[in-house]
Amino acid sequence: MNGPMRLAPCGLLLAALLTQTASGQASSARLLSLGGAGTAAARAQNSAFVNPALAQRARGSDRIELTAPAVTVIAADESDLRRDIERLQDSIDALQSGLGGPNEAALRSSLAGDLTAIGGAEVFGDAGIGASFVLPRGPISLGVTWRSFVDLRGVTSIDPADFTTINNTANPLDLDQLSSEVLVPSVRVDEIGFTFAADFSLFGLPSSAGVTPKFQSVESRLYAVSVSQADQSDVLSGLGDGEVRRDDIANVDLGVAVDLTPRIRAGLATRNLLRHTFEAPVVSGREFAYELEPLTTAGVAYGENGWMLTADLDLNSTSRFEGLASSRFLRIGGELSLGTPVALRGMPGHPNLGDLEGNMNDAVVVRAGFTTDLESTQQDLWSFGVAFPTYLQAPLEFTLAVGTEAFGAALQFGWSI
């Protein structure tokens, strides 16, 4: 084989980042550390990412709440496609060297089995970078949010004609021209939103509602990598030089939050209220349209005395890439202040920003979370995070997420100025 390929899903994701300078769907380090649960528990400065109504939770402050930057990366290879591709290419090398030898039949059978094994395999990856700020102004809070993310999948397309080639060819070069491919549909979304949140009373309960009109620019891309010939430079070239389709649209997020008791808050939010489908370039007769679908999530949070627990549940499934399996997530998380409860101001069970003296940067906060896909499309993720005080009066927040064949990380700074 000419230049054996070593296709790593994390390498695919890195290629996307390097070539497209975007990064994912998880919107901040704190939210990722809570398993992604934030519909009832997001801080004001991160609220537009998940529930714009929570921007009003900074109403007691005269400070600007700022997060910049918030960076997240997640990649998963539950089907172990990387290992199977490496094994396939080792089998190609072995058969090319063993044609005409005593083990030729066994080598052909082994290669055919390895090609069969990668059928239906799938790799997931997304990464994102964003910034946001909220300016509380009494009955109305205003905010601006910017986010850019890459959403990527890697799937296999097996050509039955390759089995005929494997079982009959006497020419080693034929094995360098197998038609089966790894197809990588990817999309980059850049969006900027303007958040407006206000108080109201729901059956006498303190409540807030928020809306985020936003503008989105979507670039769709699809490229193909042969299972027998591709190397990392092909991946980079495909991302940088391939055909791209771009669309610019308007969309909107809506949210509401209700304090059921001083310690319990419920939230409901819909992101991407307006459905849009983006046609992708056609490669090798395949096309994966990208779907920005409405996603409605309900959440609840409970807290007191320096700790908080929260959970989110998606009320509908979304697939994002047309033709691929859909997902619906349950997210659970908790956080604990190792010092003063001031670090959790604005959360359920803790005074609002204007009701307590002290600095939110005075304590180390530890967090843990769990995410599970109720449709069993993506694997479970456990996340662990910590927020450290810094000399800049801006807590440094870092998160790691792990699964059986998945890894994620996130980093963010947040200020009150």
Mean pLDDT of 390-411: 85
Position 4 in a domain:
no
Supply the pLDDT for residue 241.
52
Supply the pLDDT for residue 372.
95
Position 411 in a domain:
yes
* Cα–Cα nearest to 38, from 337, 386, 348, 360: 348
Beta bridge mates, 308 = 303, 335
Q: What is the rounded CA–CA span in Å between residue 409 and residue 23?
A: 12
- Residue 413: exposed, middle, or buried by beta-carbon count in 10 A (0-12, 13-18, 19+)? middle
Instruction: Note the maximum CA span of the chain.
Output: 84
In which domain, by residue range, is 229 found?
9-416
Q: What is the rounded CA–CA span in Å between residue 120 and residue 37?
A: 30
Q: What is the rounded CA–CA span in Å between residue 73 and residue 406?
A: 11
Band of pLDDT at residue 14, cut at 50, 70 and 90: very low
Mean pLDDT of 378-401: 86
Supply the pLDDT for residue 133.
84
Give the range with max mean pLDDT: 45-49, 192-196, 219-223: 192-196
pLDDT of 78-100, one tens digit each?
A: 788 888 888 898 999 999 999 99
Q: Is pLDDT of 382 > 90?
A: yes
Q: What is the rounded CA–CA span in Å between residue 301 and residue 393?
A: 27
pLDDT of 54-69, one tens digit each?
A: 998 765 566 777 888 8
In one letter, which amino acid is 258?
Answer: V
Rounded to the nearest angstrom, the gap between the alpha carbon of residue 394 and the centroid of all alpha carbons in its chain is 25
Q: Is pLDDT of 38 > 60?
A: yes
Position 404 in a domain:
yes
Band of pLDDT at residue 198, cut at 50, 70 and 90: very high
Q: Please tell me the number of Cα atoms within 13 Å of 238 on its side-chain side.
A: 24
Mean pLDDT of 147-158: 86
> Of how many residues is the chain composed?
417
Q: What is the rounded CA–CA span in Å between residue 384 and residue 382?
A: 7
Give the range with max mean pLDDT: 115-119, 220-224, 349-353: 115-119
Mean pLDDT of 255-267: 96
Q: What is the rounded CA–CA span in Å between residue 193 and residue 167?
A: 56
Position 194 in a domain:
yes
Rounded to 5 degrees, what angle do the CA atoms 236, 240, 245 make? 135
In one letter, which amino acid is 178?
Answer: L
Q: Is pLDDT of 234 > 60?
A: no
Q: Is pLDDT of 205 > 50?
A: yes
Q: Are 156 and 84 in contact (CB under 8 A)?
A: no
Supply the mean pLDDT for the chain.
82
Q: What is the rounded CA–CA span in Å between residue 239 and residue 232?
A: 11
Q: What is the rounded CA–CA span in Å between residue 231 and residue 327?
A: 31
SS3 240: helix
Mean pLDDT of 135-158: 85
Position 2 in a domain:
no
Q: What is the rounded CA–CA span in Å between residue 230 and residue 4?
A: 8
Rounded to the nearest angstrom, the gap between the alpha carbon of residue 21 and the centroid of all alpha carbons in its chain is 15
Supply the pLDDT for residue 230.
58
In this predicted model, which residue has the larger pLDDT, 242 or 395? 395
Supply the pLDDT for residue 333.
97
Supply the pLDDT for residue 184.
80
Supply the pLDDT for residue 238.
45
Position 44 in a domain:
yes
Residue linked to tokens 């980042």: 17
Position 203 in a domain:
yes
Mean pLDDT of 133-144: 84
Percentage with pLDDT > 70 across the chain: 82
pLDDT of 206-224, one tens digit each?
A: 999 999 999 999 988 887 7
Position 349 in a domain:
yes
Mean pLDDT of 178-195: 89
Domain of residue 191, CATH code: 2.40.160
With both helix axes pointing from N to C terminus, report the angle between 81-98 and 104-117 in degrees, rounded to the nearest 10.
Answer: 160
Mean pLDDT of 5-17: 34
Band of pLDDT at residue 414, cut at 50, 70 and 90: confident
Band of pLDDT at residue 16, cut at 50, 70 and 90: very low
Tokens of 113: 């089995």
Q: What is the rounded CA–CA span in Å between residue 406 and residue 246?
A: 30
Number of domains in the chain: 1
Beta bridge mates, 74 = 126, 408
* Cα–Cα nearest to 31, from 371, 377, 343: 371
